[in-house]
């Protein structure tokens, strides 16, 4: 999983609606897979990025080469560094933990396991049933 996708991800346990982003990372192993640098696409993606969450995540996994706020003027070096961190840094092993409901999502071979357990699914069914009764 790339960091850019982590920045888009929040906890999806039913009823866990606040303080569920970003998921905190633990025991991560990182790998770099190089891909083509596309400044145009990166620029178009910047508004979608939650910069504060991104910085705190980067700090958790030991990347400190980023400024605390998104700079006004963006030069090529900055974009290249960003490209490296967002698109080429993959989280291969570890786990993600929701700060609100503390659900753990394990990551294996770069694939996060987003399956919820039966209880969380049942709760879901009950809420739905109540909604239909109304």
Q: How far is the CB of 54 from another protein (least distance, A)?
A: 12
CB closer to another protein, 21 vs 51: 21
Q: How far is the CB of 106 from another protein (least distance, A)?
A: 9
d(CA 103, CA 75): 39
CB closer to another protein, 3 vs 58: 3
**What is the pattern of x (binds another protein, CB under 8 A) and - over residues 52-91?**
----------------------------------------
Q: Is 124 in the site for another protein (CB under 8 A)?
A: yes
Contact in structure between 34 and 88 (CB atoms under 8 Å) = yes
CA angle 16, 2, 83 (to 5 degrees): 125
Strand bridging mode 24-32 / 104-108: unpaired
Residue 88 is given by DSSP the state: I
45 token code pair:
């993606």
Cα–Cα distances (Å) from 100 to 12, 13, 107, 118, in that order, read: 11, 10, 19, 19
Among 18, 27, 32, 48, binds another protein (CB under 8 A): 48
Distance from the first to the final alpha carbon of the chain: 41
Site for another protein in 84-113 (CB under 8 A): 109-113
Judged by the rule CB under 8 A, the positions of this chain that interact with another protein are 1-2, 5, 8-12, 14, 20-21, 35, 38, 40-41, 44-45, 48, 50, 109-116, 118, 120-122, 124-125, 128-129
């Amino acid at each position: 999983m790339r960091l850019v996708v982590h920045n888009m991800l929040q906890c999806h346990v039913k009823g866990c609606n606040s303080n569920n982003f970003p998921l905190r990372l633990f025991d991560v192993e990182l790998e770099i897979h190089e891909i083509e640098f596309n400044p145009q696409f990166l620029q178009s993606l910047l508004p979608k990025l939650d910069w504060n969450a991104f910085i705190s995540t980067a700090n958790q996994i030991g990347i400190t080469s980023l400024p605390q706020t998104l700079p006004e003027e963006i030069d090529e070096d900055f974009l290249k560094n960003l490209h490296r961190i967002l698109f080429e840094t993959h989280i291969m092993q570890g786990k993600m933990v929701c700060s609100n409901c503390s659900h753990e999502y394990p990551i294996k071979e770069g694939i996060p396991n987003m399956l919820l357990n039966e209880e969380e699914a049942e709760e879901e069914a009950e809420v739905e049933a109540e909604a239909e009764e109304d």
